[in-house]
Amino acid sequence: MKTLLINGAWQAAADGRVIDVENPATGEVFTRLSRATAIEVDAAVRAARHAYDNAWGRLSAAERGRLLSRVAERIQACAEEIAQVESRDTGKPLHLARKDIAVLARYFEFYGAAADKHHGEIIPYLNDFSVQVVREPLGVTAHIIPWNYPSQMFGRTVCPALAAGNAIVVKPSEEACQSVLLIARLMQEAGLPDGAVNIVTGYGNEAGAALASHPDINLVTFTGSPAVGTQIQMAAAPNNVPCVLELGGKSPQIVFDDADLDKAVPTIVAAIVQNTGQTCSAGSRLLVQKTVYDEVVGRVAEAIARIRAGMPEAQVDCGPIITRAQFGRINAFLQRIKDSGLPLIAQGQVAEVPAGGFFVAPMLFGPVPRDHELAHAEAFGPLLAAMPFEDEQDAIALANATEYGLVAAIWSENGARQQRMARAVVAGQVYINCYGAGGGVELPFGGRKKSGYGREKGFDALDEFSTTKTVVHRFGFE
Ligand code: NAP
Ligand code: MG
């Protein structure tokens, strides 16, 4: 299998090693990937540097934008094919994969149009000086992306980096990267110069570690677990290479006694079952004002009980857990929950599925004690923790009582309360009477606390993947 894209050529690993890829719905191996090591990573970084110094680096912002726009059109034309590949590779239901591919196309469309609209400024300084703050690309950027939304993650990180003028090396997750390989081919067909985008498939602790520690990259961006985020920073630190880190969350859905429950309940349920809970911004904590706790939890329980997990091609709400390793982790978490005696309030259904598949039914637990593991640790599965609170002050304390700070939702009809809560909750995004896990290409996104730092999406990502140069010109007077 030739799955390494280096300088425009698809290659196998020099030592010929491969990685088996399993179908999460059946547990069977369905394809293989080339297993990159430091040798191929080095070649990819060199190729990116060469492209940056030559053909790619010479393109104007408008030309870069035009190329991204052309890719957007190709993605739209091949959307069904990419969705099918994504669904089989990740196990997510086809209807969800289709939405992901629509978002992928939006990334190319948005950053294609934005490439030539991101610019510097002129600063008024002393009278005989002209000061320009010029926006420049960083050079070669490294992108390590996870398996939960492979195509969306690719679009989210790659598009702004390219729009800003960087040449890039991507290390997708070996667990799910078939869509990424397909999109890379579409980018080649659209006329992207060789070396502008390089892909190294491989293991995190091998190819990923070699990429993050490479001395000739100028930024590394990573989405995944806080523990690996720390390793990435340590690998990049000797070279003083900056990082952009998106490290997950334990995001609260905060429901007050004046909330419109007809609107809130379906959104709350969707925010935890989407992608079988394997979403960094999953709404995994249901915080409810005591006076309406029983009513809210009762209605959410009814809705959870109706959720169906099953084969990706069936009309179901959830697919399987994406990998054998994650399935094992979630089952171990569930065993600890059971051992602790925490009450299970409701559980969804698993339809008829093959014996080897990695299926977990969505579950609602509560009332979860504030010091319980489920109250603060990310499960990365469809497990929702219900917890009561007294009043606004208590809601703020509870909402901020985890190490994470990614997303939060406030459900209330009181405008002043909505604003007070939005300001007080520590998070990169706050939703009022709505929730946006994924999507929102235009909306700056990123973490606080252990959820990471740096901003992706929107124009903020263009700032993140570029730097400024201040040019001071003394022209004097006649
Ligand atoms: P992970 O260990 O954080 O891995 C994410 C990506 O980083 C993968 O491509 C991985 O490759 C790579 N990687 C691993 N170790 C690396 C290293 N030392 N240097 C460079 N890259 C490295 O995530 P996971 O093991 O797949 O999942 C574990 C937990 O991470 C989940 O339970 C969840 O809590 C969290 N997670 C969060 C997000 C998110 O969107 N924020 C996404 C995925 C996972 P390998 O696949 O080869 O390890
Ligand atoms: Mg993995």
Q: In what helix (H) or strand (E) does residue 36 lie, and over which residues does it extend?
A: none
Q: Which of 224, 145, 225 lies closest to 179, judged by CA?
A: 145
Is-catalytic flag, 136? Answer: no
Helices and strands: H and E segment counts in the chain: 16, 22
Of 173, 230, 241, 402, best ligand 1 pocket probe by most atoms within 8 Å of the beta carbon: 173
Asked whether 221 lines ligand 1 (CB < 6 A), one says no
Q: Does any ligand 1 atom lie closer than 6 A to the CB of residue 247? A: yes
Q: Is 233 in the pocket of ligand 1 (CB under 6 A)?
A: no
Integer Cα distance of 90 and 183 in angstroms? 16
With a 6 Å cutoff on the Cβ, whether 144 touches ligand 1 is: yes
Cα separation values, 327 from 221, 379, 404, Å: 26, 11, 23
| pLDDT tens per residue across all 478 residues of the chain | 899 999 999 999 999 999 999 998 888 999 999 999 999 999 999 999 999 999 999 999 999 999 999 999 999 999 999 999 999 999 999 999 999 999 999 999 999 999 999 999 999 999 999 999 999 999 999 999 999 999 999 999 999 999 999 999 999 999 999 999 999 999 999 999 999 999 999 999 999 999 999 999 999 999 999 999 999 999 999 999 999 999 999 999 999 999 999 999 999 999 999 999 999 999 999 999 999 999 999 999 999 999 999 998 888 999 999 988 999 999 999 999 999 999 999 999 998 888 888 999 999 999 999 999 999 999 999 999 999 999 999 999 999 999 999 999 999 999 999 999 999 999 999 999 999 866 799 999 999 999 999 999 999 999 999 999 999 999 987 7
Angle between helices 61-77 and 79-90 (to 10 degrees): 80
Hey, what are 68's tokens?
Answer: 């991204």
How confident is the model at residue 105, as a pLDDT? 98
Q: Tell me how crowded residue 173 is: count the other CB atoms within 10 A of its CB.
A: 24
Strand 129-137 versus strand 140-144 pairing type: unpaired
Pocket perturbation via mutation, ligand 1, pick of 20, 220, 228, 230 by most ligand atoms within 8 A of CB: 228
What pLDDT is recorded for position 1?
A: 81
Q: With beta carbons less than 8 A apart as the criterion, state whether 129 and 475 touch.
A: yes
By alpha-carbon position, which residue is closest to atom 42 of ligand 1?
Answer: 224
* C-alpha–C-alpha distance, residues 458 and 436, integer Å: 15
Q: Is the CB of 174 under 6 A from ligand 1?
A: yes
**How far is the centre of ligand 1, averaged over its atoms, from the C-alpha of 146 (Å)?**
6
Distance 203 CA to ligand 1 centre (A): 10
Among 146, 398, 406, 371, which Cα is nearest to 283's?
A: 406
Give distance in angstroms: CA of 322 to centre of ligand 2: 10
Q: Pairing mode, if any, of strands 129-137 and 121-123?
A: antiparallel
Proximal ligand: closest to the CA of 148: 1
Given the CA of residue 246, which atom of ligand 1 is nearest to it? 41
Q: How far is the CA of 462 from the centre of ligand 1 (A)?
A: 24
Domains and CATH numbers, the chain: 4-247+453-470 (3.40.605.10), 252-440 (3.40.309.10)
| The residue to which tokens 């309030």 are assigned | 345
Ligand 1 atom nearest the C-alpha of 249 is 41
Among residues 156, 108, 249, 113, the alpha carbon closest in space to that of 457 is found at 156
Q: For ligand 2, an ion, list residues with CB under 5 A.
A: 175
Q: Is 281 in the pocket of ligand 1 (CB under 6 A)?
A: no
Specify which residues 468 forms β-bridges with.
135
**Number of Cβ atoms within 10 Å of the Cβ of 409:** 28
The pLDDT score that the predictor gives to residue 437 is: 67
Structure confidence at residue 353 (pLDDT): 80
Cβ atoms of residues 375 and 421 within 8 Å:
no
- Using an 8 Å Cβ cutoff, are 267 and 384 in contact? no
For residue 224, the CA-to-ligand 1 centroid distance in Å is 4
10 lines ligand 1 (CB under 6 A): no
Binding site membership of 84 for ligand 1 (Cβ less than 6 Å): no
- Ligand 1 atom with the smallest distance to the CA of 326 is 32
| Ligand 1 pocket member 232 (CB < 6 A) | yes
Residue nearest (by alpha carbon) to ligand 1 atom 6: 146
Q: Which ligand is nearest to the CA of 276?
A: 1
Closest CA to 457 of 442, 470, 472, 473: 442
366 is written with which tokens? Answer: 């509560």
End-to-end CA distance of the chain: 68
How far is the C-alpha of 369 from the C-alpha of 377, rounded, in Å?
A: 13
Atom of ligand 1 nearest to the CA of 212: 20
Query: Among residues 175, 246, 378, 456, which one is catalytic?
Result: 246
Integer CA distances (angstroms), 204 to 172, 211, 212, in order: 9, 9, 10
HSE at residue 45, side-chain half, CA atoms within 13 A, is 23
Check if 212 has its Cβ closer than 6 Å to any atom of ligand 1. Answer: yes
Helix then strand then coil, in percent of the chain rounded to 5, is: 40, 20, 35
